[in-house]
Amino acid sequence: MTTRPWIVDDDLWALIEPLLPPWPERSPGPKPVDDRRCLQGILFVLYQDIAWQLLPLELGFGSGQTCWRRLGRWQQAGVFERLHRLLLAELNAAGELDWSRACVDGSHVRAKKGGSATGPSPVDRRKTGSKHHLICDGRGTPLHVITTAANVNDVTQTLALVDGIPPVAGRVGHPRRRPGSLLGDKAYDSKAVRRELGRRRIMPVISRKGAPNIKGLGKLRYVVEQTFSLLHQFKRLAVRWERRLELHDAFVSLACSIICWRRLKKTGS
């Protein structure tokens, strides 16, 4: 990995630039900071977890306020969600997505400033926090992430995660959005969930409460823990600072896209 991972290379920029909403031709005020430099400022904050006002001006990213506003504007336009879907399609075309199974899990993060989708964390002495609910493919590629309050039970988000997988193009036929099976621990054990998964033609491979764990399930599910580890290497996601949920989710979607981009680059190397 480059020593300056926030630098956007030409290949990645070629994918992102067409997704960005154009500026009005006669917008008031001074000429806006270049989109590419602004994106690099956003990535700098995502990687380094510094306050927006401390963003180094000498790096040419513009002010923290400029990058913060651009992040919200792009999230509202759906830029990061579309980028994630585009990269999933590229991975699918390269045969790098494992649709035979998907894995689900949740991970707590402390929410320092509170905000929407926060609550008392049952694993952090009831301090205010959020929870990331993640579904990934059989190789650990993130497909969808939902942010909730820290005290939300994992099982309540199972179907939302499954239904939140975007239709992924890249192969012959209709876009794919359903894995063959869903792997989860006992926190996802529910008769209603099993029934609904069956209706979606997804086999539930979920350990039952009060019974021994399914043999070998942990070896198949380790990829979701690995993906959480990759997500939390982005320091801005290890602790939540944004009170506005849409800004935090923008960082989550951007991090998922960067993980997909790294994997796509490896397929071409």
164 domain residue, yes or no:
yes
**Predicted local distance difference test score (pLDDT) of residue 268:** 73
Q: Which residue has the higher pLDDT, 216 or 70?
A: 70
Work out how many domains the chain is built from and give that number: 2
Same domain, 104 and 141: yes
Confidence tier at 23 by pLDDT (50, 70, 90): confident
**Predicted local distance difference test score (pLDDT) of residue 1:** 44
Same domain, 116 and 196: yes
184 domain residue, yes or no:
yes
pLDDT (mean) for 195-206: 95
Same domain, 117 and 34: no
Which amino acid, 112?
A: K
249 domain residue, yes or no:
no
Q: Which domain holds residue 34?
A: 10-76
Same domain, 137 and 215: yes
Distance CA 102, CA 221 (A): 9
Same domain, 70 and 138: no
- Exposure class string for 255-265: b at 16+ Cβ within 10 A, else e: bbbbbbbebbe
Same domain, 72 and 114: no
**Predicted local distance difference test score (pLDDT) of residue 4:** 85
Mean pLDDT across the chain: 91
**Predicted local distance difference test score (pLDDT) of residue 27:** 61
Of 20-24, 69-73, 117-121, 196-200, which range is least confident? 20-24
**Of the candidates 183, 13, 153, 175, the residue with the CA atom closest to the CA atom of residue 83:** 13
Of 134-148, 158-172, 183-197, 199-213, which range is least confident? 199-213
85 domain residue, yes or no:
no
pLDDT (mean) for 176-197: 94
Distance CA 80, CA 45 (A): 16
Confidence tier at 142 by pLDDT (50, 70, 90): very high
